[in-house]
Chains A and B, each alone.
Chain A
């Protein structure tokens, strides 16, 4: 297995996240629309790609990244064309036939394309209402088999983009309403289900415009870390490609140091270890592990980490800042902090009313996350945590 970093790991480079995949497939089979909620770099997109790349069931999985979309119509247009180009429509003779003859009123209303003798001909008219087009298309067609599983990556970005380019929240709210209609319309939701992901949590984004009710039908599935065996397995697979080895003890030591076992951070440390190893060295020692952690901090130091620290300074007033630093220090030193422990810290700084908002900001900005619906919190990045421990909390 190659040590792929940054882009989604696919094919043999993807380490199967069986627990999450199983949960997703189960929820989908029950007709749910879902969101994968997790901080950045946890592996959400890789999971989506796994669903895309493997024919797991009779459903048609489609992947869309809408982070660069900044208006509602473009969003639906993107979905519209993706669906048309997909196997379940463009690749299905039966569906093409339905479209060709415009077998029902819905299909008759479609203006965006025609199916002629040579196949699909797209209209040159760019001013169409693609939500309408999409609704008509989805309502009008009969799929050959299964449903369309539309995976929309970075969906919250789209909402944010719309918010940024429009005068007020109305357009974003309308946009969310349209999406909900797609999910809830019985004529549509029998043919399509949605899987949303977003590194900036969908809930947080929507809460900001008081529109939680517009997504409360979406089921949240959390993406967990690897367990120790999986993590060991992952390391060994990568080392196999790199032609390096590590003893069981040193591997345990390495993973203990990483602590939060997401593939990304495991890979990052491995990369660093390989980088500092000489060509002729093949065995990873514990001192190499330590050096790698130091290197990874040194390389990012000041610019990378200072950014996390100084940003808080600029953002919050004195007592807010003190509460945040105390909280982060507590998490760093205890690995996690429970809701009660954080509240306890909040009382010290008279932040009982504000602390929830402050926590949300920390989550939003990528410092911490909760894996259990807000019962406890931990650092996102073990590297940031290490730096914090070394330079801030002590």
Chain B
């Protein structure tokens, strides 16, 4: 039944009459005219104009049947020329064809032969026509001739023949024409042409909503789904409107989509569609082939977009200049292939006028695995089914697949359409793909996948919802990954997976697709990876290709790398474009804080606060704190309290306790401590531990808070805790926590402290050495630690190594001292280093390695610098340098004695 709905000529007469529910007004009016026409004059000629599928042929057949069935119209022969007219190339052929039909079907014996006999005589057309008319008149018959695609026939006739046809139609009372055409014919609207406004033109417009409803109800009745359709019409009347827009109100397309809608079992409707497409292929192909190349390209682009599209888009797809496209579109519009949709603005939109042609085009010329091929079906399904309905259809589709109820191609096509529907859950789509791939050969399912666009859209949705992992998961499924390197780099960055972020950023750069934003993100990735030079390089590139957003980040990096001038330059540049950016203002505050431009620092922190930075309140408080502006520090810690209660509390507690002369302050501090004592912030717990240790002298609580800080992950808490135990002479606990700090947090310094613990407590020189050497392998030791190492080597009886180490230190030390002397502004460090060296010499002497000490001092010309040490040594080397120790000046004698005594004490205690 469904197939014949597309081919009215093949439909049984009773069925066609039964199903005829639309265009009834036009039908009534034409029949009324036919029945009431006078025999004396030629009757009204009609031209039915409507797209393919709008019901022209059905209407023609309905009129034909009505004439046949009307007893009062027995004198009229309704004769329709369908495909028969394709052989007609001149007017006389029309009379021949009619004669043939009259002879074959209506008992006009020998008419065809009589007509044929005139063919080679002069004026044969006129003669043939006259014979035909005479014979009709003899039998008291009149002819109503139905000609479909009338324009095609006219095209084959020359102008004189058309004049002749007009003459006949004006004067002959035996022939009435009811013609039909899918388009308005030139002949009818050109003032110069013979048939100018000659017909009563009946436009078969797209069906109205009411007509569509009648049609749907009739279809439903035939399909036994009346209730279903009635429910839809009642509850979702807007679907009718959607259907009208989607199909242009064209009957054939409505019926087609309707059938797909009601048929979800075996895909028969899709098979029917394919048959129909096959049937129209010669016609449509001809239509396409007749177009000039440029027009073909344009039609291709417009058809493949399905939705109305702009000149700009067409130009992009076809790579044809916009001007040419506009001109060609006018031609295509004139030929009624393309329809302009007035947007009310300058740029109009264009679509294929005949939607069924568009469907045909997509199905025939759409790329095999391109979802666009079924976009028309997708649009329909999306508008006609709710999410739940669609999902249930898909589930039942999958079920049918499993049961093998489907025709392969129909199943794949419908499957593709379902995959194209936006509102379906991706997991259900994945299931559909999986099932299809399992059942059908690979050649059929090759292109079945969730579309990149959809994955990308979903990924974007997730991204904007902050669901970065989901965004990444969807993006990774996209086939064409090149388009999403940037997106992936960004998404990974958001979840702090900088290695992956960098990987995709690298790929993006390899492809040469990176834009300013991509370079910006790349800079941020490097920043987070602490790769400052690369971060700066990327951000500089971002800025050079136009990014303004990158300026602030670049400033931040310069700030971090102590390039304060560049930092300032970039921050200020950034503020030119984004003066409201509180982060930039805040960072500028820090910059000026560091560069000691206190007024500027204060100004920018305040500006940042004004622009909404709450953190800047805290930083400003700390700034005041550092600069000993007690009152303002208190004020801003308090104002930051709302946003950073714990950190601000710590700031306040420090301030209160530093000024503990006020009892109130102490109470305030205690109260604040009480409020935050259970904080789950490791830094807060650490700070509390420090406060208990430093200000409140409560080592028990200090230890407890260090432990909590350590538990929360503070990487310095174990270390500090170990020292606390060391201070309270709990060697085991100290040892335990130093080890923990090393093991848990890779704290190499803990090894040195542990060595020190063993050494100072005389627990084990060997263990001390072991730990130092372990640490030495893991990190570079500073001067003091190296001296300590050399010292421990002495205790482990390795003088040679010890001296080697110390010689190295002295050599480096000399360089440093030379430098320091040149600068000569601050010698604090020098003093520290010196005391370490002196310590070593004392130790060396306590081991009685006098020659080694002497050699070191002389060799390195340190006798003058370390005079007290030198004379102390001479004191022990009286044998070799009998009078030398006497040369010590009075002013250093006391110190020399102290050293000698210290050396003796150490030796004695070691010997003990």
CA distance A327 to B123 in the complex (A): 46
Interface: A204 (CB within 8 A): no
- Contacting B184 at CB < 8 Å: which of A41, A153, A304? A304
A124 to chain B, nearest CB (A): 9
Q: Across the interface, do B44 and A303 meet the contact criterion of CB distance under 8 Å? A: no
The one of B38, B163, B192 that contacts A366, using a Cβ cutoff of 8 Å: B192
Interchain nearest-CB distance for A86 vs B (Å): 14
- Pair A6/B191 contact, Cβ less than 8 Å: no
Q: Which of chain A's residues have a CB closer than 8 A to the CB of B38? A: 10-11
Contact at A161–B200, with CB atoms within 8 Å? no
| CB of A184 within 8 Å of the partner chain | no
Interface string of B191-219 (1 = CB under 8 A from A): 11010111111110000000000000000
- Tell me if B167 and A303 are in contact (CB < 8 A): no
Please, how many angstroms separate the alpha-carbon atoms of A343 and B774 in the complex? 111
| A2/B163 in contact, CB under 8 A | no
> Do A7 and B36 touch across chains, with their CB atoms under 8 A apart?
no
Residue of B nearest to A157 (CB): B163
Chain A, residue nearest B185 (CB): A303
Query: Is there an interface contact between A7 and B169, defined as CB atoms closer than 8 Å?
Result: yes
Chain A 193-207: CB-based contact to B (< 8 A → 1; otherwise 0): 000000010000000
Chain B nearest CB from A67 CB (Å) reads: 4
Contact B167 A300 (CB under 8 A): no
A41-B163 in contact given A65-B170, A303-B336 (Cβ < 8 Å)? no
Is B45 interfacial (CB-CB < 8 Å)?
A: yes
Interface set, chain A 41-90, CB cutoff 8 A to B: 41, 45, 49, 53, 63, 65, 67-68, 70
State A4–B161 Cα separation when bound (angstroms).
24
CA of A300 to CA of B336, assembled, Å: 12
- The 0/1 profile, CB within 8 Å of A marked 1, for residues 150-185 of chain B is 000000000011011011011100000000000110
Residues of A contacting B166 in the complex (Cβ-Cβ under 8 angstroms):
65, 67-68
A41 to chain B: which residues have CB within 8 Å? 196-197
Task: State whether the Cβ of B340 lies closer than 8 Å to any Cβ in chain A.
Answer: yes
State whether A11 touches B45 (Cβ < 8 A).
Answer: no
**Chain B contacts for A8, CB-based, 8 A:** 170
Are the C-beta atoms of A7 and B334 separated by less than 8 Å? no
B167's partner among A10, A65, A279 (CB-CB below 8 A) is A65
B334 touches A306 (CB 8 A): yes
Given contacts A2-B44, A299-B203, is CB(A365)–CB(B167) below 8 Å?
Answer: no
Q: Restricting to A194-242, which residues have a CB under 8 Å from any CB of B?
A: 200
| A178 beta carbon closer than 8 Å to chain B | no
**Of A6, A274, A299, A304, most B-chain CB atoms within 10 Å:** A6
The residue in B40, B123, B183, B334 that gathers the most chain A C-beta atoms within 10 A of its C-beta is B334
- Residue A5 at the B interface, CB < 8 A? yes
* Residue numbers in A under 8 Å from B123 (CB-CB): 126
A73 to B608 Cα, complex, angstroms: 103
- A366 to B198 Cα, complex, angstroms: 15
A6 touches B192 (CB 8 A): no
- Of the candidates B25, B33, B41, B197, the one whose C-beta lies within 8 Å of that of A40 is B197
* B713 CB within 8 Å of chain A: no
Contact A365 B191, CB 8 Å, known A5-B199, A7-B44 = yes
Verify if B86 is at the interface (C-beta below 8 Å from A): no
Residues of A within 8 A of B190 (CB): 307
Answer whether residue B42 sits at the interface, using C-beta atoms and an 8 A cutoff: yes
Asked whether, in the complex, the Cβ of B170 is within 8 Å of the Cβ of A7, the reply is yes
State whether the Cβ of A264 lies closer than 8 Å to any Cβ in chain B.
yes
* B122 on the A face (CB < 8 A): yes
> Contact between B160 and A161 (Cβ–Cβ < 8 Å)?
yes
Nearest B residue (CB) for A383:
B197
Contacts of A304 in B (CB 8 A): 184, 189
Q: How many A-B residue pairs have CB under 8 A?
A: 100
Is B167 in contact with A271, judged by CB distance below 8 angstroms?
Answer: no
CA distance A365 to B169 in the complex (A): 24
A70 to B158, CA, bound (A): 13
- Does B44 contact A5, Cβ atoms closer than 8 Å? yes
Map CB proximity to B onto A1-33 as digits: 1 under 8 Å, 0 otherwise: 011111110110100000000000000000000
CB-based contact A4/B44 at 8 Å: yes
In the complex, whether A302 has a CB less than 8 A from a CB of chain B is yes
Chain A residues whose CB sits within 8 angstroms of the CB of B189 once the complex forms: 300, 303-304, 307
Interchain CA distance A344-B194 in the complex, whole Å: 35
Chain A residues lying within 8 Å of B334, measured Cβ to Cβ, are 302-303, 306-307
B194–A67 contact, CB under 8 A? yes
A2: which of B33, B192, B202, B340 is its contact (CB, 8 Å)?
B33
* Residues from 265 to 287 in B contacting A, C-beta threshold 8 Å: none
| Closest residue of B by beta carbon distance from A365 | B191
Q: Are B340 and A70 in contact (CB under 8 A)?
A: no
The answer to whether A6 and B45 touch (CB under 8 A), given A40-B196, A303-B184, A365-B192, is yes
Q: In the assembled complex, which residues on chain B have CB atoms less than 8 Å from the CB atom of A302? A: 333-334, 340
Residues of B within 8 A of A6 (CB): 44-45, 197-200
Report the separation of the CA atoms of residues A303 and B339 in the bound assembly, to the nearest whole angstrom: 11
Chain A nearest CB: distance from B604 CB in Å?
60
Say which residue of B25, B33, B201 sits within 8 Å of A279 (CB atoms). Answer: B25
Across the interface, name the chain B residue whose C-beta is closest to A265: B197
Near B by CB (< 8 A), chain A positions 302-350 give 302-304, 306-308, 310
Minimum CB–CB distance from A266 to chain B (whole Å) comes to: 13
A123 vs B190: C-alpha distance when bound (angstroms): 41
The interface residues of chain A lying within 8 Å CB-to-CB of B333 are 302-303
CA distance A303 to B49 in the complex (A): 14
The smallest beta-carbon distance between A22 and chain B, in angstroms, is: 23
Question: How far, in whole Å, are A307 and B194 apart by their CA atoms in the complex?
Answer: 16
User: How far is A271 from B201 in the complex, measured between Cα atoms in Å?
Assistant: 9
User: How far is it, in angstroms, between the C-alpha of A6 and the C-alpha of B340 when the chains are bound?
Assistant: 29
CB distance from B376 to the nearest CB of A (A): 24
Chain B residues within an 8 Å CB radius of A275:
202-203
CA of A5 to CA of B44, assembled, Å: 7
CB pair A68 B170 closer than 8 Å? no
Separation of A17 and B789 alpha carbons in the complex (Å):
131
CA of A157 to CA of B191, assembled, Å: 13
User: When chains A and B are docked, how far (Å) is the Cα of A4 from the Cα of B43?
Assistant: 9
Measured in the bound complex, the distance between the Cα atoms of B636 and A250 in whole Å is 82
Contact residues, A118-174 vs B (CB, 8 A): 126, 153-154, 157, 161
The contact of B163 among A10, A45, A67, A299, by CB within 8 Å, is A67
CB distance from A364 to the nearest CB of B (A): 9
Pick from A40, A67, A161 the residue with the most CB of B within 10 Å.
A67
User: In the assembled complex, how far is the CB of residue A313 from the closest CB belonging to chain B, in whole angstroms?
Assistant: 11
Which of B189, B197, B334 neighbours the largest number of chain A CB atoms within 10 Å of its CB? B197
Task: Give the distance in Å from the alpha carbon of A308 to the alpha carbon of B189 in the complex.
Answer: 10
Closest B residue to A165 by CB, please name it: B160
- Whether B160 contacts A68 by the Cβ 8 Å rule is yes
Instruction: State in angstroms the CA–CA spacing of A8 and B572 once bound together.
Output: 86
Residues on the A chain within 8 Å of B161, using CB: 68
- Shortest Cβ distance from B123 into chain A, in angstroms? 8
> A172-186, CB under 8 A of B: which get 1 and which 0?
000000000000000
- The minimal Cβ–Cβ distance linking B33 to chain A, given in whole angstroms, is 7
Given contacts A6-B44, A303-B189, A365-B191, 20 further A-B contacts (CB under 8 A): A2-B33, A3-B200, A6-B45, A7-B198, A11-B41, A41-B196, A45-B170, A53-B40, A65-B167, A65-B171, A68-B161, A70-B160, A126-B122, A154-B163, A302-B340, A303-B184, A304-B184, A304-B189, A307-B189, A307-B334
A to B CB contacts below 8 Å, 27 in the list? A2-B33, A2-B44, A3-B200, A4-B200, A5-B199, A5-B200, A6-B197, A7-B44, A7-B170, A7-B198, A8-B170, A10-B38, A10-B42, A41-B197, A67-B163, A67-B194, A68-B164, A68-B166, A126-B122, A154-B163, A274-B29, A299-B203, A302-B334, A302-B340, A303-B183, A306-B330, A366-B192
10 residue pairs, one from A and one from B, having the closest CB atoms: A366-B191, A68-B164, A68-B163, A65-B167, A67-B163, A304-B189, A10-B41, A5-B200, A6-B198, A126-B122
Q: Which residues of A contact B (CB under 8 A)?
A: 2-8, 10-11, 13, 40-41, 45, 49, 53, 63, 65, 67-68, 70, 126, 153-154, 157, 161, 200, 264, 268, 271, 274-275, 279, 299-300, 302-304, 306-308, 310, 365-366
